[in-house]
Amino acid sequence: MKNMILWVFSAVMLTFSGCQQPIDYEKERQAIIDVINLETQAYVDRDMETVFSTHVHDSLNMRLTAGTDDYVFIEGWDAHAKHLAGDETEDDLGPNVHIQVEKSNYRMKIYPNSAFVVCDQTWTSAYDDDTTEIKSIQVRFLEKIEGEWKISFVSFIGTSGYKQHIEPEELED
């Protein structure tokens, strides 16, 4: 009798563990890229309602930006939202500034309800005859909430302005 109960219990556990839907990586990858691109374009367009809709609104939402001369660390959705919509960004996103953002080289680790994403970004802004190009590496952590991907962590690491760049294969010598 004990063996029968153990066998039935094992069969039930195997049945339920096998019912979990496998992750459709290509579908999830595209959905994640779409959310990241939506957030970026909405930010350029100063559409804060759309930007805010792409983020997790909790106390653990974080942003870390770093460049050659400065860094900013923000913790909590309220502080992050204030930073995104703040007056200090108005000069960078004025109506006379033409901005183009290109993301490439996506690398992702996708789980059922979270994803870790790294990509390269080139931000080009033009004002009259003055053009500025800023290259960076973006690191993001997303959570799947009620079936939708939301950004929980953003890191912008500026790679422009450094005197030297070492390729990983150069470190192996």
User: What is the mean pLDDT of the segment spanning 125-134?
Assistant: 86
Residue 11 counted as domain residue? no
Domain extent for 27: 23-161
Residue 170 counted as domain residue? no
76-102 residue pLDDT tens: 999 999 988 886 554 556 667 788 999
* Of 66-70, 103-107, 129-133, minimum mean pLDDT range: 66-70
Q: How would residue 127 be classed by pLDDT, with cut points 50, 70 and 90?
A: confident
Average pLDDT over the chain reads 85
Residue 171 counted as domain residue? no
Residue 113 counted as domain residue? yes
Concatenate the DSSP letters of all residues of the chain into one string: -HHHHHHHHHHHHHHHHTTSPPP-HHHHHHHHHHHHHHHHHHHHTT-HHHHHHTB--STT-EEEEE-SS-EEEEESHHHHHHHHHSGGGTTTT-TT-EEEEEEEEEEEEE-SSEEEEEEEEEEEEEETTEEEEEEEEEEEEEEEETTEEEEEEEEEEE-TT-S----HHHHT-
φ, ψ dihedrals at 165, nearest 5°? -125, 130
Question: pTM for this one?
Answer: 0.78
Q: How would residue 8 be classed by pLDDT, with cut points 50, 70 and 90?
A: low
CATH number at residue 69: 3.10.450.50
Q: Name, of 87-91, 101-105, 161-165, the range with top average pLDDT.
A: 101-105
Residue 123 counted as domain residue? yes
